[in-house]
Amino acid sequence: MVSFVEVFPYVVVAWVLAVGLYGIVTSRHLVHSIVCLIVVQSSTYVLLLGVGYKRGAAAPYFNDITQRHTPVVDPVVQALALTDVVVEAAVTALLLAFAIQAHKRFGTLDPQDLVQLKG
Amino acid sequence: MTPGQRRWIFLAAVAGLAAFYLWGLAGLPGFGNYPGPYGNIIARVAVSQTNATGVVSAVNFEYRGFDTVGEEFILFIAATGVATVLRHLRGERDRTALDEARDRQVPGTSEAIRTAALLFTGPTVLLGWWLASHAQTNPSGGFQGGVVLATAFMLIYLAGEFLVFERVSPVDITDAVEAVGAGGFAAVGVAAVGYGLAYLTNFLPRGVYPGAVFSAGTIPLISFFVGLEVAAAFILIVSELLEQTLVIRQGG
């Protein structure tokens, strides 16, 4: 029987992902959808760090670890999480720029109205 | 499509996604039993190979340094993209600032905000450089340090006016810094090729003490260039966006 603590990180991932997706689907404002996309992407950080966790392991920093063979949590997924953050920042910046241009051209940021304008 | 229909399609799709997610979870080895071989190997050899005690930085700037070049250029291209999307379009003119709600009383920046922001600017710059220059030993590096450095400029914006912000971070200089940051990383890689080594090989001396400021060879150098690039990219993106809010308010 798996304990609650063992599945909890994955429950958090699923919840954050679902909340973000729900926000995007029901969004009435493009900036709100962009923020929801950030929420969706945040679930991947939790997933990466959760997957790389090892029971009883230290952080992968050997400044004060004298034993070189002390188990540490996986440094590779942590590095990937960093990449994830950078990509998110880049995507957010570009999407916000597009939202500004959409508002300038159509005078609205409601996806419902933007669909009706057809380009 | 009505919002109601959309919600039903979403619920059906989420049910499918949840099924796949649970299926995938069932195949995982369980929380806390990460089996990946790469992490274990790198954690064992990183300190003796690179003399960096921060293994995450060693992974980012050495073992998968080539990926990080791409990662840095993603941000570089994003800043370029924002500047391109928000360029002056035909028929757009800068007009004097007019509020959309003309009769609104916009309060000036309060002394409290001004003082607090200026008070934090110095320590923020220090923290940013410290983070960017200690990648080899701390959970930090150019990406984190660069963002903190950019925050210092946001504080100046908060404390004063947009014009002051533009004066302390002129676009030309910020552009040049960003180019130096992005190009510097690539140049470190090419320099290794000049020594007859593979691209981005760590060719500098690794120092005596693991984790010292001058240790780990090219890791702190690359981190420094990344710090420059990230700080400049964020300042550029934010100033582009700020400039737009001014234009839009002027349009009212």
| Whole-number Å distance between alpha carbons of A80 and A76 | 6
pLDDT at A108: 80
Q: Does B252 touch chain A (CB under 8 A)?
A: no
Q: Which of B21, B143, B244 lies at the smallest CB-CB distance from A100?
A: B244
* Residue B85 pLDDT exceeds 50: yes
Largest Cα separation within chain B, whole Å, is 69
Residue A91 pLDDT level (bands cut at 50, 70, 90): very high
Tell me which residue range forms the domain holding A80: 4-55+73-117
Reported as a single tens digit per residue, the pLDDT across B124-166 is 999 998 888 887 787 888 888 899 999 988 888 887 766 666 6
| Whole-number Å distance between alpha carbons of A7 and B25 | 9
Chain B: residue nearest A6 by CA? B31
Residue B249 pLDDT level (bands cut at 50, 70, 90): very low
Say which residue the tokens 């002051």 belong to.
B164
Q: Which of A54, A75, A86 lies at the smallest CB-CB distance from B56?
A: A75
Is residue A43 within 8 A of residue A21, CB to CB? The reply is no
Question: Residue A24: which of A94, A89, A95, A85 has the closest Cα?
Answer: A95
Amino acid making up residue B184: G
CA distances from B222 to B51, B60, B152, B216 (A): 15, 10, 22, 11
pLDDT at B250: 43
Domain boundaries, chain B: 36-251
Residue B98 pLDDT level (bands cut at 50, 70, 90): low
Residue A67 maps to a domain: no
Q: Does B60 touch chain A (CB under 8 A)?
A: yes
Span B72-78, mean pLDDT? Answer: 90
Chain-chain contact of A52 with B74 (C-beta, under 8 angstroms): no
Better pLDDT: B93 or A37: A37
Q: Give the side-chain half-sphere CA count within 13 A for B93.
A: 3
Which string of DSSP letters, residue by residue, matches B73-96? HHHHHHHHHHHHHTSPPTT-----
Residue A64 maps to a domain: no
* Residue A40 pLDDT exceeds 90: yes
Is residue B47 within 8 A of residue B219, CB to CB? The reply is no
Report pTM.
0.81
Query: What percent of chain B stands above pLDDT 70?
Result: 85
Look up the ipTM and state it: 0.80
Whichever domain contains A105, its CATH number is 1.10.287.3510
Chain-chain contact of B6 with A63 (C-beta, under 8 angstroms): no
Residue A62 maps to a domain: no
Better pLDDT: B103 or A97: A97
Chain-chain contact of A61 with B54 (C-beta, under 8 angstroms): yes
Strand partners, A61: B54
Q: Which of A10, A52, A79 lies at the smallest CB-CB distance from B25?
A: A10
Using DSSP's 3-state secondary structure scheme, residue A54 falls into strand
Chain-chain contact of A5 with B31 (C-beta, under 8 angstroms): yes
Reported as a single tens digit per residue, the pLDDT across A98-108 is 888 888 888 88
- In chain A, the number of structural domains is 1
